[in-house]
Amino acid sequence: VSVQTHRIVNIVKHLHRIVKYISESIGNLGSDTYDSQTSLQDISYSEPFPCPTGQGSPGARSPVRPTSVHRLRPGDIDVVGALGDSLSTANGADSTNMMEVIIENRGMAWSIGGQLSWREYLTLPNILKEFNPNLVGYSFGDSLGFQLNSQFNVAEPGSISDDMPFQATVLEKRMRLDSRVDLQNDWKLVAQLLVGNNDFCSFMCVYENYTEVLDHQSEFVREMQLKRILSFAGKMTAQHLRVLQNLKRIPADCLTTLHIECPCLFGFRWTHLKENFTILMDQFQQIDMEIANSDRYSTKNDFAVVLQPFLTKSKVPEIKSKSGSTFVDLSFLAKDCFHFSQKGHALAANGLWNNMMEPVGKKSRQLGTQPFYKFLCPTEDHPFIYTSSSCHI
């Protein structure tokens, strides 16, 4: 690493510490406005994990390493990773004010965070760790993408679809250089390819031909297959924006941040194109479905792509005021009302896990109103993570 690069890295680290210090100071000064409900209440250690995880249980590690991705149990997953944008980096998950939204709380991220355990932070890796304590790749805590705590979470805030092939290259390199990973034989799960938010929020309305946003949807899936970094992937795009579009009766400061962070969908300037953009998002989702259902992937034994639709018809849970009026429950959102709070990440992790336990074609498309609203487990009849082919096993 050159001296100049080393200096730049140190500058970024110092800026990150300064911002975190300032935001924490602001948070302390404004602690009277802090909503503790944005964090999932810790689960008592007297409460057992919802699924059996002991040796011989349906979800436990197979006695012999499976040779087919369609016969993977949760305990067979050796490595987890993530690509994506600020939803994968969990920006603002632990925020108590607007300033803290820029902090990347990667250890709490629903699909790749592994901070503490499922009792404190319900995330997919914290669920998988119950079946395989030797799982690697999950993020440990707050960090930038190049820092140790990020591990195999190579997502970066602001990323768009065009950035995914590069992120796939970075992920492959990290895995290849990590002595804990057997690149050829370990089963790897990249459970979140949640991209498209920034394409739609910031670029869809400025392209001369806004259908250009669709151009690179399948390129990065092929890239990851070629690099053999994926054995199993859950794919979701644009679903998060659907949830935000359905927000009703939210505070003025939320409307302001949504206009700033997602001007194409929420800005007044583009209101007349909203119907066109909705159609485009539907087309984006259709490409996802075509990729996931393609024989190109469903017939392979070492690679699978599965669309996890749990956000498709979801909306942010609502609460009633003392007067009986219904409002959006903002405890599920970060302070900018765009990203998820830690409680929101827990709810999303629950939905993602349930989708993995449900057959293709019969997956839930809507979340419950609280984490642990429903928590599915592998069964004796079907102990495997569902793919399009494992439905017939």
Q: Is residue 183 part of a domain?
A: yes
Distance separating alpha carbons of residues 88 and 80, to the nearest angstrom: 13
Q: Is residue 110 part of a domain?
A: yes
337 Cα distance to chain centroid:
17
Kindly report the number of other CB atoms within 10 A of residue 31's CB atom: 10
Residue 59, token pair as written in the block: 């979800």
154: nearest Cα among 135, 171, 137: 171
Hey, which residues does 83 pair with through a beta bridge?
193
Q: What is the DSSP string of 99-160?
A: GGGGSB-GGG-TTTB-SS-TTT---HHHHHHHH-TT-B--B-SS--TTSGGGTTB---TT--
Catalytic, out of 85, 199, 288, 336: 199
User: What is the number of structural domains in the chain?
Assistant: 1
Q: Any catalytic annotation for residue 117?
A: no
Q: Is residue 367 part of a domain?
A: yes
Domain that holds residue 223: 54-200+210-240+275-311+341-387
Catalytic, out of 339, 341, 388, 389: 339
Q: Any catalytic annotation for residue 95?
A: no
Residue at token pair 């001007």: 263
Predicted TM-score (pTM) of the model is: 0.85
Answer left, alpha or beta for residue 190, where phi above 0 means left and psi between -120 and 50 means alpha.
beta
Q: Is residue 354 part of a domain?
A: yes
390 contacts 162 by C-beta, under 8 angstroms: no
Distance separating alpha carbons of residues 217 and 200, to the nearest angstrom: 13
190 contacts 172 by C-beta, under 8 angstroms: no
Q: Any catalytic annotation for residue 86?
A: yes
Residue at token pair 């993602």: 352
Q: Is residue 369 part of a domain?
A: yes
Q: Is residue 392 part of a domain?
A: no
Beta strand extents in the chain (DSSP E only): 79-84, 188-194, 232-236, 305-307, 318-320, 326-328
Q: Is residue 19 part of a domain?
A: no
Q: Is residue 101 part of a domain?
A: yes
Give pLDDT tens digits along the chain (393 positions).
565 666 666 665 556 555 554 444 444 333 333 344 667 778 999 999 999 999 999 999 999 999 999 999 999 999 999 998 999 999 999 999 999 999 999 999 999 999 999 999 999 999 999 999 999 999 999 999 999 999 999 999 999 888 888 888 899 999 999 999 998 899 999 876 666 778 888 877 876 665 555 555 555 566 566 555 455 555 455 555 666 766 767 778 888 888 888 888 888 888 888 788 878 777 777 777 777 777 777 778 888 888 888 887 788 888 877 777 788 888 999 999 889 999 999 999 999 999 999 998 899 988 888 999 999 999 999 999 998 877 655
Burial class (CB in 10 A: 0-12, 13-18, 19+), 48: exposed
- Assign residue 102 the CATH number of its domain: 3.40.50
Quick check: helix, strand or coil at residue 308? coil
Catalytic, out of 57, 86, 150, 331: 86
258: nearest Cα among 327, 349, 330, 352: 330
Distance separating alpha carbons of residues 349 and 210, to the nearest angstrom: 32
